[in-house]
Amino acid sequence: MVKVIFYEKTGCRNNTKQKTLLTAAGHQVEAHNILEEKWTKQRLLWFFGNRPVAEWFNPSAPKIKSGEINPQQLDAETAINLMLEEPLFIRRPLIQVGYRGEVGFDTQVIDNWIGLTPKDETLQEVSQKLMSQDLQGCPNNHQHHH
C-alpha cells in the first residue's frame, strides 16, 4: 500500500473511477483539485518527464477541442505558460507517489508502478470492469438538454 497524491478535476467521472481502482488496490488516495493548485513550471515539468508536449494536454479542454489551440504546434515553454494560466489544459490526473510523478491514467503503467490488483476478492469484478474501460480523459461531463 502506498500513499497516492492524486490531482484531479473534482467531479470528473473518470477521475472518480481511477480513485476507486487505486483504493480497491489498497492505496491511500489523497485527492487535490488540479484547478485550485498553485502550479509552478518546475512542478508541472516534473510530472511530464520525457513525454512529448502534446501528451501534457487534456484533449477534452474546450480550446483544444475547438481547434483554437493545437498542442502539436507548441513548444514546452508556451505549453507550460498556457497551463499556468488555464489549468484546464493540464492532462489529468497528475499522480505522485514518493519521488515519481505520472500524467494521465494508463492502467498498465500504474499497475506496473504501484499495482492495481484489488486487495479483496469482492473488488475484483469492479476493478476488472474499470480496467477494461478507457480511463483517459473525461467523458461527456456536459449533460445535453434538448
As a whole number of angstroms, the distance between CA 40 and CA 109 comes to: 25
Contacts of 20 (CB under 8 A, 6+ apart): 126, 130
Check: CB of residue 3 under 8 Å from CB of residue 30: yes
- Per annotation, catalytic residue among 4, 12, 21, 79: 12
Bridging pattern class, strands 100-103 and 94-97: antiparallel
Answer yes or no: 138 catalytic. no
Catalytic (active-site) positions: 12
